[in-house]
Structure 1
Amino acid sequence: MKTRRSFLRDTGALTLGSFILPQLSQATSLFSPLASRPVGLQLFTLFRPMSEDPKGTLEKVAAIGYKEVESAFSLKGGYYGYTAKEFKKVVEGLGMKWRGHHAGGAPFRPRPTPPASMTGTAGGGPAAGGQRPAMDFSKMPPMLNLRDNYQELVDQAAEGGLSYLVCASTPVATVDEIQKSIEVFQKTGEACKKAGIGFAYHNHATEFDPVEGGKTPYELILSQTDKDLVKMELDLAWAVKAGKDPVKLFAEHPGRFPLWHIKDIKSDLKTITEVGNGVVNFKRAFAAAKTAGLKYFFVEQDMAAQPFESITTSYTYLKNLQA
């Protein structure tokens, strides 16, 4: 059986045709689903500045024009050193909405990272912009995770008025790991529903690698979880890296993708880059927004070397699509 890696090598990694390499001749009317939506940002893109000066960083994010944010872990712990209620107040005081939060599916502690090889969230490749500064996570407070702390995380998400609690990543290397993760997702989804919020799972590229039996973790998660309790936050770049067409996924599972990560990747399918500087066809994706069930989307560039320049470039590209 061909692995994803050998398939991409043998075919030159450019088999998605209609999805990668943007179709610039498509009619502008196709992109109207983007025009009415505020542009959001996943704050992991600004990991270091959010850990050092969260309020000052959020002020810069708002000044660029972003209207919604999705949070992640930080060196300060909790919600960048705030409680959920406090962080909501800071975000809304700057004219933005806090829509979602990323939590780990199982216990996880980041390791110290060398400056040139850091890959951001799991399953990625090097980011654009060269070296990133090394970071020491040794003094970071312990992180809550869905396996052990799902109810506490749900309660905090509800306290912060979030729309979605999102599993950022979870062990999926074996069928046993996948089944345990599915159990966690079901419990978390049920708790979220009771709290009046949604639950979603965020992918990387590895979820599309076959495991024992030939199925992929993504297929198993989609087929073995309640579609009303467990939604998906599709990371478009990781899906493209894995050889998947996001629009086909939307058609196969309509309404299952209320959240997207708007991330781009260069033609080598390794290098993450600013939105519009790679091969992901965002125009075609947004044309299928209704089928996907899209509610919110967030720019992400996995701890970019020049984060403010990067998120400005990505924001400008998306606003030009809206024009």
Structure 2
Amino acid sequence: MKRRQFIQQSSSLLASSIFLSRTATWESMLTTKPLGLQLFTLFNIIDQDVPGNLKKVADLGIKELESAFSFKPMFYGYTGKEFKSLTNNLGLNWVSHHVMGAPLKPRPGFDASKMPKFLTLKTDASQIVDNVAEAGIKYLVCANIPIESKSEVSEAVDTLGKSAELAKKAGLTFCYHNHDAEFKLIDGQRAFDVFSSQISSDLMKFELDLGWATKAGENIVELFKKQPGRFPLCHIKDFDTDFKNIVPVGQGIVNYVPIFKAASIGGLQHYFLEHDMPKDAFESIRLGKSALDKIL
């Protein structure tokens, strides 16, 4: 073989091996991350039969769980250790827990009297942190907090900062979960930017709701690049063409392929399906998992 031909073929083989190793790494990164479920998807039904509903979740191939508030105290009527044991026995890994940042602000026409009294970070941070730490899970997530004015954003920074300090002392990783409102200008500022700059990344990470961020018009890949590694958790949801209704993942318009390709930049470790108040929760989970299996 002539020297020039040898060099050309060697270069081609080297390039191919690099491409294949990168492809293998990319595929491995995705396929080894088990798909999880945010249990708010089952909010209307989970309390009726907690063990039975969790078994249905496991039977659908879901591997990880993120719990949320419900009509029952603590964790769906269980202590942290009891709920941990229940999920482990079903082959489910309980990873994180959602809590409210502050008491609910009822919308016009909403009857708040039918809702239970939820613990919130503003009023019960120490108790919440103790409960989650005792459960033996890693992440505590603020699900929402009032941010409709500059003063509310300022109050939110105070509440989140104090809660994050308590969580860190207890060995927990504290995260904030967004909707679309965090990316809208309110009195000349975006709450997401305020939270990012005023609360250290050592104290607070983000659970990026990819669906809500997409609805807000956010470029998620660029967001990952601006704050690499700050997004260990994410929510996966989908919307119809007008972003008016949440639909099962794969039935809407959110393109997850470029987002997942940038997963390592953002630091994504846990992926939770979520569908707020679906007509058929288990069918939505089945459709979403099927769609994601094809993407991944």
Q: Which TM-score applies when normalising by structure 1? A: 0.80
Structure 1 distance, partners of 2:46, 2:108, is 18
Partner of 2:53 in structure 1?
57
**231-240 vs 75-84, greater mean Cα deviation:** 75-84
State the 1:77 CA deviation: 2.8
Contact 1:100 1:162 in 2 (8 A): yes
Whose helix fraction is larger, Structure 1's or Structure 2's?
2
Q: Which amino acid aligns with 1:198?
A: T
For the pair shown, the structure with the greater C-alpha radius of gyration is: 2
Q: Percent identical across equivalent pairs?
A: 46
State the 1:266 CA deviation: 1.8
Q: What are the equivalent positions in structure 2 for 1:148-167 lying under 5 Å apart?
A: 148-167=123-142
Structure 2 distance, partners of 1:110, 1:100, is 26
Structure 2 distance, partners of 1:139, 1:220, is 34
1:176 is paired with a residue whose SS is: helix
Q: Is 1:274 aligned to residue 270 of structure 2? A: no
Partner of 2:38 in structure 1?
42
Q: What are the equivalent positions in structure 2 for 1:292-303 lying under 5 Å apart?
A: 292-303=266-277
| Shift in CA distance, 77/141, structure 1 to aligned 2, threshold 3 Å | farther
2:44 is paired with a residue whose SS is: helix
Q: Is 1:211 aligned to residue 194 of structure 2? A: no
1:248 to 200, 213, 222: 222
Contact 1:31 1:286 in 2 (8 A): no
Structure 1 distance, partners of 2:129, 2:49, is 26
| Shift in CA distance, 249/31, structure 1 to aligned 2, threshold 3 Å | farther
Structure 2 distance, partners of 1:301, 1:295, is 20
Structure 1 distance, partners of 2:55, 2:152, is 40
1:72 to 64, 68, 73: 68
Contact 1:40 1:68 in 2 (8 A): yes
Whose strand fraction is larger, Structure 1's or Structure 2's?
2
Structure of higher RCO (CA pairs closer than 8 Å, 6+ residues apart): 1
Q: Which amino acid aligns with 1:272?
A: I
1:70 is paired with a residue whose SS is: strand
Structure 2 distance, partners of 1:111, 1:175, is 20
Contact 1:69 1:97 in 2 (8 A): yes
Partner of 1:94 in structure 2?
90
State the 1:39 CA deviation: 0.4
State the 1:108 CA deviation: 2.0
| Shift in CA distance, 140/88, structure 1 to aligned 2, threshold 3 Å | farther
State the 1:138 CA deviation: 4.1
Q: Count the aligned residue pairs.
A: 274
State the 1:48 CA deviation: 1.6
Structure 1 distance, partners of 2:240, 2:163, is 35
Partner of 1:262 in structure 2?
236
Contact 1:241 1:270 in 2 (8 A): no
Q: Which amino acid aligns with 1:283?
A: V
Any stretches of 5+ residues in structure 2 without a counterpart?
1-22
Any stretches of 5+ residues in structure 1 without a counterpart?
1-26, 115-135
Q: What are the equivalent positions in structure 2 for 1:126-141 lying under 5 Å apart?
A: 138=113, 140-141=115-116
Contact 1:76 1:140 in 2 (8 A): no
Q: Deviations over 1:209-260 (max 9, x none)?
A: 1011x22111111111011111111111111111111111111111111110
| Shift in CA distance, 243/49, structure 1 to aligned 2, threshold 3 Å | same
Q: Deviations over 1:80-117 (max 9, x none)?
A: 11111111111111011111111000012778999xxx
Structure 2 distance, partners of 1:45, 1:318, is 17
Contact 1:266 1:273 in 2 (8 A): yes
Structure 2 distance, partners of 1:139, 1:173, is 24
Q: What are the equivalent positions in structure 2 for 1:208-247 lying under 5 Å apart?
A: 208-212=183-187, 214-247=188-221
Partner of 2:5 in structure 1?
none
Q: Which amino acid aligns with 2:139?
A: Y
1:83 to 79, 84, 87: 79
Q: Which TM-score applies when normalising by structure 2? A: 0.87
